[in-house]
Chain A
Amino acid sequence: EVQLVESGGGLVQPGGSLRLSCAASGFTFSSYEMNWVRQAPGKGLEWVSYISSSGSTIYYADSVKGRFTISRDNAKNSLYLQMNSLRAEDTAVYYCARCWGLLRYYFDYWGQGTLVTVSS
């Protein structure tokens, strides 16, 4: 059974840092591209970042570029999101999502999410 389990969320002050983790199991993690998606309280879904299966290709949404860093450790079946210079508007539930599709990509499995609250 495919499982994605996020951790690392919590309360952080503006300007602070936090590192999210996503532990993957039930599939060959090193073969799949992965993403982070977030959802502010009461709002819609916002794609945050993408990383290729090898980690060599990375993309970010403009809203987090220069502040967030996505990475992965295929030996540990884990995905990470290092978040620096956090702002109040980064408050959200953060989901990791597996990316699949031969040509037309989609997110077929999602974690349960971890809440990040940026507040003083």
Chain B
Amino acid sequence: QVTLRESGPALVKPTQTLTLTCTVSGFSLGATGMCVSWIRQPPGKALEWLARIDWDDDKYYSSLRTRLAISKDTSRSQVVLTMTHLDPVDTGTYYCARMQRVYDGSHVRYYFDFWGQGTLVTVSS
């Protein structure tokens, strides 16, 4: 049974750095094709993809790339996201999700098949 669970601080002060951990079970972060992404959602707003790390340690970032760093510890089944220079607009629910990356010989297909329950992060002084 695949599960993902986010953990991290609920309250962060502006300008500080946020560190979130996603602990997974039911699959290996080192298994070919396994990817994990971080996605956030400000209150009442749309989903926003932040970053992705693949089984082979390839990393991809959104336009917030200068503030983001994603890493994984396969032995501990954890994916860590750090975000620097927090601002109140970064307030929202942060999700980690397993991303299926399927290559069929001509196209690569991506979709999120399992999600964590999310963790609410508030940026306020």
> Do these two chains interact?
no
Write the residues of chain A forming the contact surface with B, with a CB cutoff of 8 angstroms.
none
- Chain B residues proximal to chain A, CB less than 8 Å: none
